[in-house]
Chains A and B, each alone.
Chain A
Amino acid sequence: MRYSLLSLAANALRGHAGWRPAWRDAAPKAAYDAVVVGGGGHGLATAYYLARNHGLADVAVLEKGWIGSGNAGRNTTIIRSNYLLPGNSAFYELSMRLWEGLEADLNYNAMVSQRGVLNLFHSDAQRDAAVRRGNAMRLEGIDAELLSADEVRRALPFLNFDDARFPIRGGLRQRRGGTARHDAVVWGYARAASERGVDIVQNCEVTGILRDPAGAVAGVETSRGTIRAGKVGVAVAGHSSRVAAMAGLRLPIESHVLQAFVSEAIKPLLDTVVTFGAGHFYISQSDKGGLVFGGDIDGYNSYAQRGNLPTVEDVCEGGMALMPALGRVRVLRSWGGIMDMSMDGSPIIDATPVPGLFLNAGWCYGGFKATPASGHCFARLIATGTPEPAAAAYRLDRFLRGATIDEKGQGAQANLH
């Protein structure tokens, strides 16, 4: 069923009794051309683009829980492409362009809101870094504007401008950045993939990877039986190491917990995404009115999907330093997600040494914004065996070659990226 003003009006007249399920909850077949492991945003987007761009519709997405129950449902919904380094800029800008056309493409309201992303700076050195990044972005055809302290003050007068230690000196803004509704992204891709014939299989945990006598991938063992496929794409960020280990691979990844928070709903206050430059803190306001914010990962290996109090305190301190009014609202909820922290802070979209096994991993805590481009590029890799040019730097062997993409310059310290 195509969603439109007409379909809405027609269903309103019939008491909304005519709506059909948005996507088909399929039972697994015995064999597919390709299987995507992981029913999050990246896995569902991969399946959608396999069907849409490459005519490969005999595809199953296998999800161990329900779709969108992992990191797709645990992020802070920010989209942006304000990256500095070659290898990152083109990829995240591809993602930004796909976001801009996503709702028309999927016929689904993903609530993409280009309300802007503003990175604040607090010193001369940080201003220099912001100018450099802004110029690098503009050279890549990405929008970037440098704002003076006065311009920031006019837009967001409630920030703490005259803090003795970290006064706000200005900011770098990407107007095209913003937010999107995470659950709607998952369901939009699921619906569009399902319409094109992709099987979405829930409660189906992959427990093993089948190999043929030559060593190539032959399918997967799952909690719902054996599924044969000549191509298997793994998009399970957070748990990539565990699935890769089923094929005997060790990855340059540690799993860490990242917490995020939402306050009680308040009237419209913050019409953009703001990041604090003197600590790790970022905040936006959801359409329901809650202030959505987060900061650093807890910093130790974890698969627990919950964090500890010192990080909660640290994030709230960052928030109070940036925006003292935050102290007057109550935190409504907090949650934790498991991040694939790669050793250079950048993702991996590549074939693996196991023929037929493809890997989409290492998203650190920046995976949500990458969802469309990740699916787009991973689908091309699975379908054709060759990488999309925009993702050609995200190779698994870049660590061996010394070609790491270290946007933060921290080296192989997973908990610092």
Chain B
Amino acid sequence: MRIACPFCGSRDLREFSFLGDAGAAGAGLPGAGPGAGPGAGAEAGADAGPGAGPDADAGARAEAVYLRDNPAGRHRGLWYHEAGCRSWLAVTRDTRTHAIFAVELAREGAR
């Protein structure tokens, strides 16, 4: 598997490390949208009005932290170009074939 980094060009897999599902793991990144993951869940919890009970908040947080779509097919994951430009990349890939459809900067994809 080779990943086409927007800065460095096509690079070998061993230069990258994988964090996880872009939806679940992306919340900690700057610019991640609301509802994108655990960090966002915490923000939503802090902003929740008096109508939302602690249980509902805990449930939403547990879902955001632990549950995954885990698709067989198109999947968007976060990769870190550790041995290169150190960018966080959102890579859209077919989990059945490892074919890569798109690579973008995670920050741009989150907007």
Contact = CB atoms under 8 A, between A and B. Distances in A.
Interface size class on chain A is 20 to 34
A399 B62 contact: yes
A300 B89 CA distance: 14
A369 to B, nearest CB: 24
Interface stretch (A39-47, A132-140, A409-417): A409-417
A413 B75 CA distance: 17
A417 to B, nearest CB: 12
A310 B66 contact: no
A301 B17 contact: no
Interface stretch (B28-36, B39-47, B90-98, B103-111): B90-98
Contacts of A254: 20-21, 68, 70
Given A299-B18, A300-B18, A415-B18, A255 B70 contact: yes
Contact of A400 (B1, B12, B58, B75): B58
A254 B70 CA distance: 5
A292 interface: no
Interface in A101-149: none
Given A300-B77, A399-B62, A250 B14 contact: no
B72 interface: yes
B69 A250 contact: yes
Contacts of B98: 302, 304, 308
Contacts of B102: none
B interface SS class: mixed
Interface in A238-273: 239, 241-242, 250-255
B13 interface: yes
B8 interface: no
Interface string A376-417: 000000000000000000000001100000000000111100
Interface string B52-93: 000000110011011111111001010100000000000001
A253 B70 CA distance: 7
A250 to B, nearest CB: 4
A241 B12 contact: no
Contacts of B21: 254, 301
Lowest 5 A-B CB distances belong to which pairs? Answer: A241-B70, A310-B14, A252-B66, A399-B66, A300-B18
Interface of B: 1, 12-14, 17-18, 20-21, 58-59, 62-63, 65-72, 75, 77, 79, 93, 95-98
Given A242-B72, A250-B68, A310-B12, 9 more contacts: A241-B68, A241-B69, A301-B93, A302-B95, A303-B95, A304-B96, A399-B62, A412-B65, A412-B66
